[in-house]
């Protein structure tokens, strides 16, 4: 299965346990990378983030653990564990960890 982490296929996975926090860092793990889209798990230490940027595709973000402030086109959103937000294509967005947090990012290239 090209583009998929083989050890993840065909079994139930606890996303919280799949990636660890690292002090002062952002850690990512690609779970699936195919021509039609990607699935990536991130762990952000408190205060860490991504500066404002755009992406050519809609991005679905689910908070797996903790909470983050996500800014989309200048509007701030506090997103917590169990919640998700969709960041629209070609619109500026940024995020910052309010607490250490983990997120699942799904981008569909369509």
For residue range 4-52, list pLDDT tens digits in order.
566 778 889 899 999 999 999 999 999 999 999 999 999 999 999 999 9
pLDDT given at position 4: 56
Structure-token pair, residue 101: 């947090």
Q: What pTM did the predictor assign?
A: 0.90
| Cβ-proximal residues to 20 (8 Å cutoff; 6+ apart), any chain | 27, 43
| Cβ-proximal residues to 10 (8 Å cutoff; 6+ apart), any chain | none
CATH topology of domain 29-108: Jelly Rolls (2.60.120)
pLDDT given at position 2: 47
Where do the structural domains in the chain lie, given as residue ranges? Answer: 29-108
């Amino acid at each position: 299965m090209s583009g998929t982490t083989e050890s993840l296929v065909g079994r139930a996975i606890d996303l919280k346990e799949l990636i660890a926090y690292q002090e002062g860092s952002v850690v990512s793990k690609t779970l699936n990378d195919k021509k039609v889209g990607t699935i990536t798990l991130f762990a952000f230490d408190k205060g860490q983030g991504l500066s404002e940027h755009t992406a050519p595709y809609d991005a679905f973000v689910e908070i797996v653990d903790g909470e983050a402030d996500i800014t989309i086109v200048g509007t701030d959103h506090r997103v917590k564990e169990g919640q998700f937000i969709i960041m629209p294509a070609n619109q500026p967005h940024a995020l910052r960890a309010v607490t250490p947090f983990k997120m699942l990012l799904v981008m569909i290239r369509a």
